[in-house]
Amino acid sequence: MAKIKPSKGAPYARILGVGGYRPTRVVPNEVILEKIDSSDEWIRSRSGIETRHWAGPEETVAAMSIEAAGKAIADAGIDAAQIGAVVVSTVSHFSQTPAVATEIADKLGTDKAAAFDISAGCAGFGYGLTLAKGMVVEGSAEYVLVIGVERLSDLTDLEDRATAFLFGDGAGAVVVGPSQEPAIGPTVWGSEGDKAETIKQTVPWDRFRLGDVSELPLDSEGNIKFPAITQEGQAVFRWAVFEMAKVAQQALDAAGISPDDLDVFIPHQANVRIIDSMVKTLKLPEHVTVARDIRTTGNTSAASIPLAMERLLATGEAKSGDTALVIGFGAGLVYAATVVTLP
């Protein structure tokens, strides 16, 4: 029986560079209030959101990804041709096939890099990071580009008081490459499909093909609504606060560190109240910098963690070499948490 030659990868993997892109249009809460019965004070108190970015016609999923990726590649100090794989997490690229990752890989100038999309909602960046780590250590790619990108303004029902104010657009990217020491810890990840109804798309795409208007939601003017993201806010809040704090602690335990060893906490930017509750439950020390990028970026799903990471490093609130706990959670319901060394 022939023996298969073992793979030769790096001993470990690390994040080498990070980049972000936020659309040029800044949307304050006052714009959201044109369609829902609420107030700026209510939105801020419930979510922490003051403004968000919405993409224009030219700021496509691919275009935003290329901008963020270019910054991450430059930050990593490598050439695009060295990228061996491109992993894109998104739920808002509306072409079923081909994967938008293939377009991104080509336009960046990679040398025929492997390229694929994943759909893991707000945990998508964590899923992609875990896959990238495996590729680098296994040896199938020396450098992997991981992108979280969303145009959630396309999937927002502006008449839905529960979600109209939540979502924003943007792209965040990291380059994962070889390391001589551990810099991406074990991932604690999973899914709870029995709770899938708590965050979902309002109408499946095939309902439009059937053409039965009576089965489709209508807006206040009687027009057919485009599918949007809907959620059961209280159920999601309870799950995130109580269950995700446990997952975050498991990630710390898996990495062999305690909250006192952390420098930075970068949770998915879903809601400031969720973030603050997790900080309290985890008993994070005051010296730990906590990302609250949601205030001016909104909930950008798969893009939220890399965008928050990029901003913390750009503002100096976090620095290269800091130890950070990252956790994403959302539709599925899915989750992923790990400890990383910041680039």
Task: Report whether 273 contacts 237 (CB < 8 A).
Answer: yes
Residue found under tokens 């965040």: 172
In the set 53, 93, 122, 271, the catalytic residue is 122
* Catalytic site includes residue 223: no
Give CA–CA dist 76/72, Å, rounded: 6
Residue 325's DSSP bridge partners are: 265, 339
Active-site annotation holds for 122: yes
The H helix count followed by the E strand count for the chain is 11, 14
Which class for 126: exposed (0-12), middle (13-18), buried (19 or more C-beta within 10 A)? buried
Is residue 325 within 8 A of residue 251, CB to CB? The reply is: yes
Q: Looking at 29, 53, 93, 268, which residue is catalytic?
A: 268
Amino acid identity for residue 282 in this structure: L
**Cα(105)–Cα(17) distance, rounded to whole angstroms?**
17
Return the active site residues: 122, 268, 299
